[in-house]
Structure 1
């Protein structure tokens, strides 16, 4: 079945491009179409440019496209963006895990930096908690693949996701939307803006998302995979003159959904616990608070000095607090239970100079980040009769200077040269204590009792600095086609393992070093067949060095413990290609497609877990790196009852991949295809809209995360977390 669906999907995407030659006579004139690539404007390089002129692999999804496909949150990017993984983290409802071209960070623990940068209106979001952003009041989302250090405030080694909210208008605007759906889904969103004068406008948006669980905690009776989220945004924009612009914005998201536990995948060694019939059910026993709150305030100021120079300042503060519980053993027994508390706060300041000459343009900037991330969690190990408390913090002060300039040598030939200097000063504290008794420790609110054994207790500080250049050359082969070649480097600084057990692994106090990537890319973008086909394609090759990999180590008595080791394990070679685009087939039929091929291989994987350096690259496979990914959607638009009806069926495909660097036949995910369908009717006056959305119509069961603590010590605790099942929803929208 999967092989057939893969063939249909990839052949369909190829057919979409080729069919324009056959159906050219049926297509509306090019000037009437509004979806050609050269009409899409993005800010991927911190200045407004047509997408076809940007020498970067960029996927740009407009609010209309996201609405048309029924995208609920940014995890929908995974379906439509080639070679991207954008998922909810294991054991979480709103923590984001992102990989682009095989580079990312699966572990959301404080102290670890993401490999893919997330930006909300140019403000970098340092922590992944609460970062599964719902799609409302959004203008577009851009996904930049490959390192982008010469253009963005924080170094982005794998790529960047830009969440661009809607600017306020000069006319009153109002939208209200209600959604009812499967599992008692009840969503509501209201947004609007009002001009108080010709110069000042205010606006805001509020959204509430409620849904019963896809499954049940068979032990406690609580819903599993439910949703209880509220989100709020407010902004004010002041334009005192044609040269000045100011924007003050605030956002807040609160997630009060139930704890999300995994599904036991194998039988337990004690207690007789077997996998529940439904993959969304669990027998988890731990109970406690589940709450995530993230919020931020930003102030943006722009001053157009003259036609040559624009100055921009972005000041932002963000914070987050998380309380959660995770049952690793998925049973009522306290075999491996983890209550956890996280907190983070950051202040960032960025200054930009955007320049535009007759034959050149560019951006230069200074960036400063002052952030703190901290937390505490218990590992309640019932079979060992102990509770292990881990606590720590990481303070980061980062300074960067970057620039990227483009020069037009001729009307067809241009080049870009950029560079970035980054210096991260970090200090950290790591503590790890054993307490007798398999209950919460005093650090998470448990019974006061003395420390049985101090395993880790140290502070450290270090500085990490790197210069990362980027060079690209673009050439307009014709007025419709642009080719480019680029070389760029990315960098992610080092740190310390917040789970490190210095008793078991003494080298943990030394921390780990930065990782780097050198990426080579060739691309071709443009339109063809009188702009009926718009496309972007790229081939890439990356040398990924000093990879920061977390390896779990467990031990049984008398060396009682469970710990992780973060090593710079070696290097990997990553290469592949991407093709995405849109085909205007007839007056009423449009097809969108994407194909991604990714080959990610370890060249060297040297671990110190055994105490002696050993290269185990022959038994390791990079995580979240499916070899093939694809999307194919067809949108039909026509008249019905005086209004416009659009129907969009779509397929998205991912080939088999590993959830961890150590392949596991129990947890590795096989290839799967998701089938979605949406139908939207808009009233003649444009004020009313009715939509019906079906997602995962074939009810595929697919893993998006997991935990592996096999063996008798931890009751053979192998668990998995799954993507949403088949769902239906109906939506009513009112605009004024």
Structure 2
């Protein structure tokens, strides 16, 4: 620390000594050519645009606790999945939920929920392009072609809905560009890991812009299942997204997007084998061994977690003189299967057995929002008003128990069906 302070002091001294001659030289008459314009002051803060109040604003003007990461930040910090945010966002705590690699549980300011079952809502909401993702089952999605991510701390219920008591994670995807181009990147790592990401902008005309993005990553896993020798806690994920931007007039913009994501990733409980030093899974029951105890297709689930989801969304914006109207529509469907162990205390997974959780679920959601952002009273009043509707259909076939393949006790085997209809009106304004 002393050396650093000394170095800074010497730099300051040299700058002070150099300043008078420079000033004297500029004050003297000169017949030289005019100097080139000086570059902008590097000490000035870069303007960061966010939509934390459901309208575009400079981050410095937003009276909220917001952390914003742009595309370059995500690249520099190697944030590949939403779970990686917990390493970089202050006050955001999280982990994979109950061993599910596709599901994240978040805590902001100490408020969170570890349940991914459809009968419980989470207090930290996740949004993609202003469309709310109602279930945790697939909120750990791979980040590809993202414009920025905003993490809002504190209750955000007025503008982001009732499930944001702790805060909100808002993902904004890149929109199609008017210039053709794209990128391709690839990487490799230990345990057979490979990662490929690509995107291409292909405008069809000045009024029809298109974009296609994809990602693919996989790894062999680093945990060995002792009774089969299989590698666990690996990944095999891919996703593709298409987007279209329509510009029928100077005042109307219509953004359409669709994606499909297939995730096969688990985070099964494991420990170090003292004999070999390898990591071994505590789960000692293989696929199909519990079929005689449980009903339904869940009894034959493979060890691990598999989630498939697809979504469609549209955002139509109409700009008037002092008013912007938006119609935001979203549909998402998620199917999930998993077979995981919930007993971390078992010292010998074959001898003492497991406490497995088997699940096969289907989740469907549809939402519609109408929003208006405007200014009035000589631009002294900024306001946002809107209407929101959400409908859900959830079907969950769930099984739990404890024991071994030869002696097993079922503690739960049930099918849960629940629907949801949620309506909301909201309004917020600020007057200067």
Question: Fold-level match, TM-score > 0.5?
Answer: yes
Work out which of the residue numbers 143, 151, 159 in structure 2 matches 1:151. Answer: 159
Answering whether residue 276 of structure 2 is matched by residue 261 of structure 1, we say no
Write out per-residue CA displacement over residues 542-577 of structure 1, whole angstroms, 9 at most, x where no aligned residue: xxxxxxxxxxxxxxxxxxxxxxxxxxxxxxxxxxxx
Aligned Cα RMSD in Å?
2.7
Aligned to 1:44: 52
Larger strand share, 1 or 2: 1
CA displacement at 1:23 relative to structure 2:
7.1
Aligned partners of 1:366 and 1:183: how far apart in 2? 49
CA displacement at 1:93 relative to structure 2:
1.4
Answering whether residue 364 of structure 2 is matched by residue 345 of structure 1, we say yes
Note if contact 1:328-1:337 (Cα within 8 Å) is conserved in structure 2: yes
Answering whether residue 213 of structure 2 is matched by residue 205 of structure 1, we say yes
Structure 1, 291-300 or 276-285: larger mean CA deviation: 276-285
Note if contact 2:123-2:163 (Cα within 8 Å) is conserved in structure 1: no
Aligned to 1:630: none
Aligned to 1:614: none
Aligned to 2:333: 319
Write out per-residue CA displacement over residues 224-258 of structure 1, whole angstroms, 9 at most, x where no aligned residue: 2201001111111101111101011011110134x
Aligned partners of 1:370 and 1:21: how far apart in 2? 63
Aligned partners of 2:93 and 2:44: how far apart in 1? 26
| 1:280–1:163 CA distance, 2 compared to 1 (3 A) | farther
Bigger RCO (CA 8 Å, 6+ sep): 1
Answering whether residue 417 of structure 2 is matched by residue 396 of structure 1, we say no
Aligned partners of 1:34 and 1:241: how far apart in 2? 39
| 1:52–1:338 CA distance, 2 compared to 1 (3 A) | same
Aligned partners of 1:313 and 1:22: how far apart in 2? 59
CA displacement at 1:21 relative to structure 2:
9.8
Aligned to 1:368: 389
What TM-score results when the alignment is normalised by the length of structure 1?
0.49
Note if contact 1:153-1:350 (Cα within 8 Å) is conserved in structure 2: no
| 1:264–1:110 CA distance, 2 compared to 1 (3 A) | farther
Aligned to 1:294: 309
CA displacement at 1:65 relative to structure 2:
0.9
Instruction: Write out aligned runs for 1:312-711 (5 A).
Output: 312-329=326-343, 331-332=349-350, 334-357=353-376, 358-382=379-403, 385-387=408-410, 388-408=412-432
Show structure 2 runs of 5+ residues with no match. 16-37, 288-300
Note if contact 2:194-2:217 (Cα within 8 Å) is conserved in structure 1: yes
Aligned partners of 2:57 and 2:323: how far apart in 1? 16
SS of residue paired to 2:247: strand
Aligned to 1:703: none
CA displacement at 1:335 relative to structure 2:
4.2
| 1:23–1:149 CA distance, 2 compared to 1 (3 A) | farther
Write out per-residue CA displacement over residues 585-617 of structure 1, whole angstroms, 9 at most, x where no aligned residue: xxxxxxxxxxxxxxxxxxxxxxxxxxxxxxxxx
Structure number with larger C-alpha Rg: 2
| 1:284–1:35 CA distance, 2 compared to 1 (3 A) | farther
SS of residue paired to 1:354: strand
Aligned partners of 1:161 and 1:121: how far apart in 2? 11
Show structure 1 runs of 5+ residues with no match. 1-7, 9-14, 266-272, 409-736
What TM-score results when the alignment is normalised by the length of structure 2?
0.82
Write out per-residue CA displacement over residues 75-129 of structure 1, whole angstroms, 9 at most, x where no aligned residue: 2211111111132223111111111111111111121111100000000000111
| 1:284–1:382 CA distance, 2 compared to 1 (3 A) | closer
Write out per-residue CA displacement over residues 39-73 of structure 1, whole angstroms, 9 at most, x where no aligned residue: 11111111111111101000001110111112221
Aligned to 2:200: 192
